[in-house]
Structure 1
Amino acid sequence: MTETGNSLLIAATRALTEAGVPDAARDARRLLSFAVGVEAGRLTLVLPEPVEPDAQAKFRDLIARRVNRQPVSQLIGKRAFYGRDYLVTADVLDPRPETEILVEAALAQPFGHVLDLGTGSGCILLTLLAEMADSRGVGVDISPVAVQVAQTNAQTLELSHRARFMVSDWAAEVEGVFDLVVSNPPYISTREMAELAPEVRDWEPRMALTDESDGLAAYRAIFGSIGPYLAESGRVVVEIGPDQAQDVSQIAQKHGFETLAVIRDLDGRDRVIVAQWIEIPF
């Protein structure tokens, strides 16, 4: 039976609401827009019209997967970040608005060469390169599949000539000197994993979320190894959990770094640390 966009949307919103999906009406509209191939801003215009059977089937499948709490970004294959669309798969973290605070902090001072540790989709590195003319950068990830996603995003944004991606366990395979090092590492403790929303806990790559310990292992690895890769006055900008500022600052200090700033997100929670290496290079 051919149904209109309105009837499909009403049924889908009800199903998502019953499944406990936050913002059910918004997600239903985004998925219907994707299924029928209409820009989100034009969806209202076509809602009274019949929806083709193939599009109906596609939409119902998308809703069934969303009821199972699969993230919308994985269902439609992209996520907007800092004004650009990025390919997103189950092999990389879904870019979040909070991470744009890290980007803003990194862009506060000019840089020429940037290293992104745990690059995932590449959204941080590629955004920085797009916003800072003539800069270039390297993104590393321990996941070869994540590196492939980042390379695809670089090609789509026409930044492949300025961005290089490689498989590396943090900086182990990295060569060169950088003005800026950025990272959104796995900072969720094992204890906190159970508290995450199903969209995150069950669908995003676990190794990008947690260190299976206290949530601080990545900072120990980063600050313990990155100093020699930094140019004089080089900065390290990392995203942190809301209760980690003191611990991460202490880790940084232990390895010869000075914390320049702790930046809060829009909810007033500590979100980003900016540090500078104060050890004198040999």
Structure 2
Amino acid sequence: MTAPPPTPPASGRGVRVALASATTALTPVSATPRLDAELLMAHALGVSRETLLLQRLDSPTPHSFGPLLARRLAHEPIAYITGSRAFWTIELAVGPGVLVPRADSETLIEAAVEHFGKGNPKTILDLGTGPGTLLLAALDQWPGATGLGVDASPEALAYAERNRLALGLGARASLQRGDWGEGVSGAFDLILSNPPYIGTGEELPAEVRDHEPGAALFAGSDGLDDYRRIAPQLPRLLAPGGAAILEIGATQAAAVTALLEAQSLAVALRHDLGGRPRALIATRSSELVTRRS
């Protein structure tokens, strides 16, 4: 039988003491227990984390902190509890039914910035946009661009709609329910995609396995099913001089590269800040420019 989670600290004591106690309680649950405690406390107080640390450490602990902490001790993702997640230069509303944006996915935006240099993509396509993560971050990066986000999940598109309006991008971002690139017309300067890439037999942390949508995580026994569908669509959707940038799992660079090269695309690899293979940059073979991974 699984042991019950530790009892959350009682409310009423000072924030500083409650944060220390919560950090201890969260250590078996999270790789970032102090950060989690601070984010939950800031949410309970209705202030930013910066304001919490600079001004509110000696405040009384709000009564809402205990229930929030209990949810995290039950492995619910922080982003679902607070209802938001920062990504690149934007803040996104998220919740059950959508994939939580990861910092590692910012590697795709970094790769796009490097690819275009001083230039600017005018048209952007995000295949599997989720809550609008990559599309809206790219539109914020390039104010002159317009873009389309496609997702099969109505729950994800509802969050993407909410986010595009909240960020003031309603006139520049369109959303479409669909199956990857099927039914999408036009050629795009920048195509971004973070498809499911986890094998169905792979182990996942409880907060991912038990809370985030499986359709956004799993892609067949080898995790490659959706790449097999996306790769043949890219030559039709990619504008001359453009780039398609796909997130990959740490062991998938060779397999996904082969799928892209079979479509006469040239491929470069980009690593994330942890040094793990994270993104493949596909361009038309005749336009290949050697880039540092």
Comparing 29-38 and 67-76, the one that deviates more: 29-38
Q: TM-score scaled by structure 2? A: 0.87
Q: CA deviation at 1:121?
A: 1.3
Q: Is 2:129 aligned against 1:119?
A: yes
CA distance in structure 2 between the partners assigned to 1:190 and 1:92 by the alignment: 18
**1:215 aligned to 219, 223, 233, which one?**
223
Report the number of matched residues: 271
Q: Moved runs in structure 1, 4+ residues, more than 6 A?
A: none
Contact 1:240 1:272 in 2 (8 A): yes
Q: Is the 8 A contact 2:89 2:140 kept in 1?
A: no
Using the alignment, how far apart are the partners of 2:192 and 2:94 within structure 1? 20
Q: How far apart in 1 are the matches of 2:273 and 2:17?
A: 37
Structure 1-normalised TM-score? 0.90
The question of whether the paired residues in 2 share the 8 Å contact of 1:190 and 1:215 is answered with yes
Long gaps (5+) in structure 2: 1-10, 287-293
One-letter amino acid of the structure 1 residue matched with residue 257 of structure 2: S
Name structure 1 gaps, 5 residues minimum: none
Alignment map for 1:42-121 (pairs within 5 Å)? 42-44=51-53, 45-51=55-61, 55-56=62-63, 58-108=64-114, 109=116, 110-121=120-131
Q: Within the alignment, does 1:186 sit opposite 2:196 as a pair?
A: yes
Contact (CA 8 Å) 1:107, 1:128: kept in 2 or not? no
The SS at the match of 1:158 is coil
The answer as to 2:33 corresponding to 1:24 is yes
1:166-197 CA-to-partner distances (Å, cap 9, x unmatched) read: 100101131222122110110111122x1x22
Deviations 1:208-233 (A, max 9, x none): 11113211111111111232122223
Once the 2 structures are TM-superposed, how far is the Cα of residue 126 of structure 1 from its aligned partner?
0.8
Q: Secondary structure at the match of 1:210?
A: coil
Q: What is the aligned partner in structure 1 of residue 176 from structure 2?
A: 166
Deviations 1:240-265 (A, max 9, x none): 11111111111011122221x10111
Q: CA deviation at 1:9?
A: 2.6
Amino acid in structure 2 at the alignment position of 1:33: A
Coordinate RMSD, CA, aligned: 1.7
Query: Amino acid of the residue matched to residue 213 of structure 2?
Result: P
Identical-residue share of aligned pairs (%): 39
Conserved 8 A contact 1:187-1:210: yes
User: What is the alpha-carbon distance in structure 2 between the residues aligned to residue 198 and residue 5 of structure 1?
Assistant: 28
Shifted more, 182-191 versus 221-230: the winner is: 221-230
The CA distance in 1 between the partners of 2:240 and 2:269, in whole Å, is 21
Alignment of 1:187-266 (within 5 A): 187-192=197-202, 194=203, 196-259=204-267, 261-266=268-273
Distance apart, 1:278 and its partner CA: 4.4
Question: Letter of the aligned partner of 1:104 in structure 2?
Answer: E
Q: Which segment drifts farther, 136-145 or 21-30?
A: 21-30
Distance (Å, rounded) in 2 between the aligned partners of 1:250 and 1:50? 58
Shift of 1:153: 0.8
Instruction: Give the letter for the 2:105 counterpart.
Output: T
